[in-house]
Amino acid sequence: MFAAAATKVITMQEVSKHIKEEDLWLVINGNVYDVSKFANEHPGGVDTMVAAAGIDGTSDFDGVGHSDSAKKQLITYQIGRVHKADLAAWGKSK
Ligand code: HEM
């Protein structure tokens, strides 16, 4: 079950529909994370997460210098991946 969720391909078009505090997906290193249930507990606040939603949030996540513990938490929220080409094209269109 986990493997299927982790490898499910999600489009950036779909990701871009989940950009609200209560329905929030993040894309970090090509992986898609549903952080809806975590956003309110995030030590860095909800707003930082909302600001990184609907786009490639990798540089936002990495820029903070998150701890190894924070990086390990990511896997808990993974629901799939985006295609590299999709992500690249999306970035350019923004
Ligand atoms: C699923 C994604 C994320 C997880 C699991 C996560 C987790 C955490 C954790 C555990 C901390 C506490 C410090 C640490 O252990 O490094 C933290 C701090 C922080 N995070 Fe995140 N984070 C995520 C995404 C983001 C994003 C996208 C941003 C956008 C810039 C962000 C901004 C921050 C900031 C600014 C802090 C520092 C808070 C402070 O020390 O005052 N985080 N995050």
CA of 22 to the centre of ligand 1 (A): 17
pLDDT of residue 6: 57
pTM for the whole structure? 0.91
CB-based pocket (< 6 A), ligand 1: 26, 33, 35, 42-44, 48-49, 52, 57, 60-61, 64, 66-67, 69-70, 73-74, 77
Backbone angles phi, psi at 79, to 5 degrees: -120, -10
pLDDT of residue 58: 96
Domains and CATH numbers, the chain: 12-93 (3.10.120.10)
pLDDT of residue 77: 96
pLDDT of residue 84: 93
Give me the tens of pLDDT residue by residue for the chain, a chain 94 residues long. 555 555 899 999 999 999 999 999 999 999 999 999 999 999 999 999 999 999 999 999 999 999 999 999 999 999 999 999 999 999 766 5
pLDDT of residue 94: 56
CA distances from 78 to 15, 45, 94 (A): 13, 20, 24
